[in-house]
Chain A
Amino acid sequence: MFPFCFEWAWDISHLVFMGGLWYALSIIGAGMTFAIVKTIFDCSGGHDNQDHGHH
Chain B
Amino acid sequence: MNETPLIPAGVKRCSKWQFSLWMAVVTAVLLWGVYAMYLIWYKGLNQTNMNDAYGFALWIWADLAVIALGGGAFFSGFLTYIVGKNELKNIINLAVVIGFICYSSALLILAIDIGQPLRGWFIFWHANVHSMLTEVAFCLSCYFAVLTIEFIPLILENPKLDKKPFWHHLSHNMHGIMAIFAATGVFLSFFHQGSLGGVAGVLYGRPFAFREHIFIWPFTFFLFTWSAAAYGPCFTILVTKITEMITRKKLVKDSAIHLFAKISGWMIITYIIAKSIDTIYWAFVTAPGMGFTLMDFYASSTYNIGLLFAEIVICGFIPGLILITKRGRENSFLLMSAIILGVIGVSLNRWVMVLQVMAVPVFSFNEWYTYMPSWQEVATTVLPVAYGLIVISLAHRYLPVFPQEKELNPID
Give A residues with C-beta under 8 Å from B. Answer: 1, 5, 7, 13-14, 16-18, 20-21, 24-25, 27-28, 31-32, 34-36, 38-39, 42-43, 47-48, 50, 52, 54-55
Q: State in angstroms the CA–CA spacing of A54 and B152 once bound together.
A: 13
B157 touches A28 (CB 8 A): no
Task: Determine the distance from Cα of A43 to Cα of B188 in the docked complex, in whole angstroms.
Answer: 33
Complex interface residues of chain B between 122 and 154 (CB less than 8 A to chain A):
124-127, 129-130, 134-135, 138-139, 142, 145-146, 149, 153
Q: Which residue of B lies closest to A36 (CB)?
A: B170
Q: Are B142 and A54 in contact (CB under 8 A)?
A: no
Known: A14-B129, A50-B162. A28 touches B181 (CB 8 A): yes
Bound state CA distance, A27 and B184, in angstroms?
8
A–B complex contacts, Cβ < 8 Å, 17 sampled? A1-B124, A7-B126, A17-B129, A17-B135, A20-B138, A24-B138, A24-B188, A28-B145, A28-B149, A31-B181, A36-B170, A42-B169, A43-B166, A48-B165, A54-B157, A54-B175, A55-B89
Q: Is the pair A21, B142 in contact by a Cβ cutoff of 8 Å? A: yes
Give A25 to B125 CA distance when docked, in angstroms: 15
Contact residue among B129, B166, B177, B180 (Cβ-Cβ distance under 8 Å from A13): B129
Chief secondary structure at chain B's binding surface: helix
**Closest Cβ neighbor of A41 among chain B residues:** B169
Nearest CB in chain B to that of A25: its residue: B142
Q: In whole angstroms, what is the CA distance A39 to B176 when docked?
A: 12
- Asked whether A21 lies within 8 Å of B177 as measured between CB atoms, the reply is no
Instruction: For A14, list chain B residues within 8 Å (CB).
Output: 129
B126 pairs with A17, CB closer than 8 A? no
A-B contacts besides A18-B129, A48-B165, 18 pairs, CB < 8 Å: A1-B125, A5-B125, A17-B134, A20-B138, A24-B142, A24-B184, A24-B187, A31-B177, A31-B180, A31-B184, A35-B174, A39-B166, A39-B169, A47-B169, A50-B163, A50-B165, A55-B175, A55-B403
Is there contact, CB below 8 Å, between A38 and B149? no
Interchain residue pairs A-B with the least CB separation, the first 5: A48-B165, A13-B129, A17-B129, A42-B169, A35-B173
